[in-house]
């Protein structure tokens, strides 16, 4: 373990490679986390099925490439298909739990997560899947730092989507309706906003973001039916750290998490990378609670 860490000091370009690749993978986490922040902020639901939407988005691209489409076309296709699936999920299940106890919405989305995970396993098999985007790689520092162009694309797209989302929420009619509903659904209804439609569009938009993230994940990395929950937890962590209404914070936290996870995977070994993700979340929650308790004790 410490040997791996000392490698970084002896040979800094290796550290640069691990950290930069992690940062770029982190942009995929940021994309999925925008969606989670949106659903959390507007519907007040922690969407446990988030990761499965990412994985299903990945399968859409995988199947499209199998059918002979160019990989890059898979990206908008995944987003479009997952937009529709998100809308369907809202109409079938989510609208029934929007104003219920948080426990019910967590458990219902958790049930959906198991459902989609097992459906993916039954339909597509448990093999690890990946798609070669055929875009080549960027080599820096005499080839010690290798960044695939797909990861760079993911990075640009995550930044672009963050900016577009910010503009959309601020200036578009629907974006304003979404923000109004998030602030006070009752007042929004009185002012003539169809909040049910706003909820449906928010959830569908979340699906599209997850679909894009999944498409990038299958091109830049791998997917299989059981990686959904780690994506859910990553998005959750990013939103907890960044706060619900903070687009720039989500980008920063997502990239940071990607880098941290890649370094941890390198230092502790890849077999502990998932354990690291989940343990990190527990630590963040405990730390956050301890900070809140300190603030509370000032009031006493």
Partner 1 sequence: MSRITDWHIMGALALAGIAGPLLLPGLATQIAFLWLMVVFALTWDMLGGRMGYNSFGNIVFFGIGCYAAAVVQRDAGLPYFEGLALGLLVGAAAAVLAAIVFGAAMLGIRGHYFAIGTLGLGIAAGEIAAGWDYVGAGSGMALPLYPGELGSRELFFCYSLFALAGVCFLVFRWLYGTRFGLALNAIRDDHDKADAMGLRTTPIKIFAWSLSAFFLAISGGLAANMIGFIDPRDVAFAGATFGVWMVLMAILGGKGTLWGPVLGAFVFHITQELFWTYLLGWQRVALGLLIVVIVVFFPQGIMGWWAARRARAVS
Given the rule CB under 8 A, which residues bind partner 1?
46, 48, 93, 96-97, 100-104, 106-108, 110-119, 121-122, 229, 233, 236, 240, 269, 271-272, 274-275, 278-279, 281-282, 285-286, 288-290, 293
Closer by beta carbon to partner 1, 8 or else 276: 276
> DSSP 3-state helix, strand, coil percentages of the chain (rounded to 5)?
80, 5, 15
d(CA 115, CA 93): 13
Q: Which residue has the tokens 């490679």?
A: 17
User: Please, are residues 254 and 29 in contact by the beta-carbon 8 Å criterion?
Assistant: yes
Task: Please report how close the Cβ of residue 180 comes to partner 1 at its closest, in angstroms.
Answer: 23
Rounded to whole angstroms, how far apart are CA atoms 279 and 273?
A: 10
Contacts of 187 (CB under 8 A, 6+ apart): 180
Q: Which is nearer to partner 1, 190 or 293 (CB)?
A: 293
Q: Of 19 and 240, which CB lies nearer to partner 1 in the complex structure?
A: 240
CB of 260 to partner 1, least distance (A): 15
- What are the tokens at 136? 């080549």
Residue number with CB closer to partner 1 (106 or 174)? 106
Q: From the CB of 141, what's the least distance to partner 1, in Å?
A: 32
Our CB check for partner 1 shows the closer of 67 and 290 to be: 290
User: How many residues are recorded in the chain?
Assistant: 300
Q: Give residue for tokens 């503009």.
A: 167
Question: Judged by CB, which is closer to partner 1: 172, or 291?
Answer: 291
Closest distance to partner 1 from the beta carbon of 100 (Å) = 8
Report in angstroms how near the CB of residue 16 gets to partner 1 at its nearest. 27
- Least spacing, CB of residue 173 vs partner 1, in Å: 30
| In the complex, minimum distance from the CB of residue 296 to partner 1, in angstroms, rounded to a whole number | 10
Helix axes 149-171, 247-268, angle to 10 degrees: 150
Contacts 24+ apart (CB under 8 A), 249-253: 250/30, 250/33, 250/34, 250/37, 250/162, 251/27, 251/30, 251/158, 251/159, 251/162, 253/30, 253/33
SS (H, E, C) 224-245: CHHHHHHHHHHHHHHHHHHCCC
CA quadruple 100, 104, 109, 112: dihedral positive or negative?
Answer: negative
**Least CB distance from residue 236 to partner 1, whole Å?**
6
Q: Of the two residues 221 and 272, which places its CB atom closer to partner 1 in the complex?
A: 272
Q: Is 223 helix (H, G, I), strand (E, B) or coil?
A: strand
Which residue, 71 or 254, has its beta carbon nearer to partner 1? 254
CB 83 within 8 A of CB 204: yes
């Amino acid at each position: 373990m410490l040997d791996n860490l000392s490698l970084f000091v002896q040979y800094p370009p290796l550290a640069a490679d691990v950290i930069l690749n992690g940062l770029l993978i982190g942009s995929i986490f940021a994309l999925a986390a925008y969606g989670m922040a949106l659903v959390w902020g507007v519907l007040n639901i922690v969407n446990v099925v988030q990761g499965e939407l990412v994985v299903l988005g990945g399968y859409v691209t995988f199947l499209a490439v199998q059918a002979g489409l160019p990989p890059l076309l898979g990206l908008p296709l995944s987003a479009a298909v997952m937009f529709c699936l998100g809308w369907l999920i809202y109409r079938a299940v989510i609208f029934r739990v929007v104003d219920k106890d948080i426990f019910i919405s967590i458990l219902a989305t958790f049930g959906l997560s198991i459902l989609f995970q097992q459906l993916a396993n039954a339909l597509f098999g448990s093999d690890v899947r990946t798609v070669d985007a055929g875009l080549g790689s960027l080599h820096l520092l005499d080839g010690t730092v290798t960044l695939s162009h797909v990861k760079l694309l993911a990075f640009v797209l995550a930044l672009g989507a963050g900016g577009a989302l910010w503009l959309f929420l601020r200036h578009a009619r629907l974006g304003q309706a979404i923000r109004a509903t998030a602030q006070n659904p009752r007042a929004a209804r009185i002012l003539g906003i169809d909040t049910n439609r706003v909820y449906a569009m928010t959830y569908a938009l979340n699906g599209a973001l997850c679909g894009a993230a999944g498409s990038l994940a299958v091109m830049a990395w791998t997917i299989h039916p059981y990686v959904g929950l780690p994506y859910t937890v990553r998005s959750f962590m990013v939103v907890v750290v960044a706060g619900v209404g903070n687009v720039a914070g989500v980008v920063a936290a997502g990239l940071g998490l990607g880098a941290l996870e890649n370094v941890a995977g390198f230092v502790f070994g890849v077999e502990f990378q998932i354990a690291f993700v989940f343990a990190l979340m527990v630590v963040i929650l405990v730390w956050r609670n301890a900070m809140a308790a300190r603030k509370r004790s000032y009031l006493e």
